[in-house]
Structure 1
Amino acid sequence: MERDHAEHPLVIGHRGAPGYRPEHTRSSYELAFALGADAVEPDLVATRDGVIVLRHENEISGTTDVATRAEFQSRRTTRVIDGVELTGWFTEDFTWAELATLRARERLGPLRQASASFDGRYPLMRLRDLFEVIERASEEQGRMLRMVAEFKHVTYFDGLGLPLDELFAAELDAAGWGRGDERLIMEAFEPTVLDRLRDLGVRGQRVFLIEGTGAPADLVAAAAPGAEPALPYDMFATEAGLLGLAGRFDGVSVGKARLVGPMPRRRSGVDGVLTGAELVDAAHGAGLAVFTWTLRPENRFLAPASRRGSVRAAWGDWAGEFGDVIDTGVDGVFVDHPDLGVIAREESQA
């Protein structure tokens, strides 16, 4: 690896390049780097035997062919995950050897028929497989490429005896990444796992994900009965909340609606919630980098002013919206189509 060509903001392939290939597959990640991504983002969940696998959620009926597999029909069950009841098939009920027999499917098939045309072609991936993809692409491109690892449902997995932070640290060691370095960014909606990663000596930026509604699951679980409720996510999007994160974390990541709107109607009751460039400026003032998710070109995901026509799968004025997000001064953007993120960055710098 000769040099770091990363520009500002980072273009992060959200689960690879799922606009073109089913997410979290080797093909999706390799394509993301080929299209110019500076980093890719895997979602981390665990198997029954403690292997970290890459899936959007631990419930996998929407992203694999598990529902069609006769040998696994008895595994269908109902679980409560972070307070939400879900019925389906869950990674923690499978060994890696069993999951390795499944094939990936496009999660947004009706909207992304081109990606869905690859359904059934690719197996699932482990975290250790992605380390290899990143290293190979870095060597081929002669630049440092990064991983933005998202830890999913940490408190839930803790309750099963599957601590994602400890499993992750072991995977780093096994992959030869030591305890992490500048190639690694870690993010989570649950702040305490980021603290635990620091305590384990895992190096790399730690980024707190600020959801649009609700409160962090770990804080909710830790709140004593009858005590004050857990701080809502909105509290962390105020000037005081951002200052409270300073020195603890390296950055925050917010949903696109906090930057270009419209924000969902808030029920948190928090005053002084920041949006747009004011949020980014306040975070930077507190010494925090700012990332945002997810930039997508389809009308279904664009703000109303950027939509063109009434077809949900059609592409609207993605360039305008992507540019508006970048102009807020963010440090990284998560995109489903990495090439579009690169184009938007280039146009904003012209």
Structure 2
Amino acid sequence: MNRRQLVITASAAMALPAYAKAESPSLKSPGPQIIAHRGASGYLPEHTLAAYEAAVRMGADHIEPDVVATKDGHLVVRHDPVLTDSTDILSHPEFADRKRTVSFGTFEITDFFVSDFTLAEIKTLRARQVFADRSHADDDRYEIPTLQEVLGLRERLSRESGRTVGIVPEIKFPTLHRQVGLAIEEKLVDMLDRAGLNSATAPVWIQSFEQANLKALKKMTPIKLLQLVSGSDVDPTGAVTLLPPDDKPYDWVVSGRAGTYADMLTQEGLDEVATYAAVVSPWKRWLVSFSNGQPVVRKDIVDNAHARGLQVFTWTLRNDRLDPFYAGDPAAEYTQLFHMGVDGVFSDFPDTAVAARDKFAQ
């Protein structure tokens, strides 16, 4: 065992969580849950049916569609409410006049907004890999799917694989959508209801970086809710820094509520989250950051959440975005988080995540 492995193990030395060898009764997969972040997005253009199917074939427990709305009210899946980075929109001169600037508190976005396009127009676009250093061999091959198509795929893959495939939809920019008359929450719940997934025991979590829409959803549906907690960067001491737009939920900006995402992870903040959510999901640097090449571990966040009955998921694990501490071994990052008691991880490389979990559970 090398020095890095010793530190990883020592930084979270404890008995393995009970679920390390347990079998989930609903998903039949041991240990922490593996959520395919935007599908198998490390290999294929994100948020495509191909990426979701590949993720399930790799053993992911859940697929994660980010949900946005079109001009005519259809729910489609994109990571952002804009199109330049993830599609071939710039190859469509017929849409050149759609680019515009939208203000979000103290920052602005100039781009092509999904909410300015009909579903028929969105269907003329093709998906592209968003990371320049990943394979672009599959760019411009796949349509932008609707959420309904993703739900249909989930049902088919569950049937074909003989296991229940979960789904973890994220409502993107809920306040923005509501401001332009395209609220997502009610439509999403209706679609999940028609898919037979509107229950507390369904393999579903609805997630959001905002808080007000999750509190509203708590009154609307028994489906489990997941509070995302963002961050901007890490300072030399290993502390998470917070700058717009990742400093606070946008609904807090609009309502004038004081505070930042850091407040959600305090004792009082977790008390509030526990009143409406089943899961708190901080950016992984809230749990493990680095200072002078060594890990700064915040297992107390995991323990405090668990003490309130909250599960802890974290994001995003990527083979090609590892801190040098892990010496090029993606499994080491998973193992460190699993030893801390994390209940689920969002990964761009679900095959790596599943393999790391399987090894951890041995």
TM-score by length of 2: 0.84
2:309 aligns with 287
1:268 aligns with none
Q: 1:140 to 1:88 in 2, by over 3 A?
A: same
Which whole-Å CA distance do the structure 1 matches of 2:99 and 2:344 have between them? 38
Whether the aligned pair in 2 keeps the contact of 1:169 and 1:179 (CA below 8 Å) is no
Structure 2: which 5+ residue stretches go unaligned?
A: 1-24, 232-241
2:353 aligns with 341
1:185 aligns with 205
Displacement of 1:157 in angstroms is 0.8
Return 81-90 or 15-24, whichever deviates more: 81-90
Which whole-Å CA distance do the structure 2 matches of 1:231 and 1:148 have between them? 27
CA RMSD after TM alignment: 1.8
Q: 1:342 to 1:230 in 2, by over 3 A?
A: same
1:198-209 equivalences under 5 Å are 198-200=218-220, 202-209=221-228
Which whole-Å CA distance do the structure 1 matches of 2:63 and 2:79 have between them? 13
1:1-20 equivalences under 5 Å are 4-20=27-43
Q: 2:51 aligned to 3, 13, 28, which one?
A: 28
1:103-142 equivalences under 5 Å are 103-108=126-131, 110-113=132-135, 116-142=136-162
Whether the aligned pair in 2 keeps the contact of 1:81 and 1:153 (CA below 8 Å) is no
Displacement of 1:248 in angstroms is 2.4
1:297 is aligned to 2:316 = no
Which whole-Å CA distance do the structure 2 matches of 1:155 and 1:337 have between them? 30
Residue 261 of structure 1 aligns to a residue whose secondary structure is: strand
The amino acid of 1:334's aligned partner reads: F
Displacement of 1:262 in angstroms is 2.9
Residue 262 of structure 1 aligns to a residue whose secondary structure is: strand
1:76 is aligned to 2:96 = no
Q: 2:168 aligned to 148, 168, 188, which one?
A: 148
2:262 aligns with 234
Q: Deviations over 1:283-304 (max 9, x none)?
A: 0011100000011111xx2223
Which whole-Å CA distance do the structure 2 matches of 1:179 and 1:349 have between them? 29
The amino acid of 2:307's aligned partner reads: G
The amino acid of 2:252's aligned partner reads: L
Q: Deviations over 1:177-198 (max 9, x none)?
A: 4567512101111111111112
The amino acid of 2:38's aligned partner reads: R
2:236 aligns with none
Q: 1:32 to 1:106 in 2, by over 3 A?
A: same
Displacement of 1:10 in angstroms is 0.4
Residue 276 of structure 2 aligns to a residue whose secondary structure is: coil
Q: 1:86 aligned to 88, 97, 109, which one?
A: 109
The amino acid of 1:221's aligned partner reads: V
Q: Deviations over 1:238-272 (max 9, x none)?
A: 22321232232111001111122138xxxxxxxxx
1:220 is aligned to 2:253 = yes
Displacement of 1:20 in angstroms is 0.9
Displacement of 1:82 in angstroms is 5.4
Whether the aligned pair in 1 keeps the contact of 2:197 and 2:204 (CA below 8 Å) is no
Displacement of 1:81 in angstroms is 3.7
Residue 8 of structure 1 aligns to a residue whose secondary structure is: coil
TM-score by length of 1: 0.87
Residue 12 of structure 1 aligns to a residue whose secondary structure is: strand
- The list of structure 1 runs, each at least 4 consecutive aligned residues, that deviate by more than 6 angstroms after superposition, is none
Whether the aligned pair in 2 keeps the contact of 1:151 and 1:187 (CA below 8 Å) is yes
Which whole-Å CA distance do the structure 2 matches of 1:216 and 1:132 have between them? 31
The amino acid of 1:152's aligned partner reads: K
1:271 aligns with none
Q: 1:161 aligned to 177, 181, 191, which one?
A: 181
Which whole-Å CA distance do the structure 2 matches of 1:245 and 1:199 have between them? 14
Which whole-Å CA distance do the structure 2 matches of 1:176 and 1:285 have between them? 31
Whether the aligned pair in 1 keeps the contact of 2:88 and 2:126 (CA below 8 Å) is yes
- Report % sequence identity: 38
Whether the aligned pair in 2 keeps the contact of 1:292 and 1:330 (CA below 8 Å) is yes
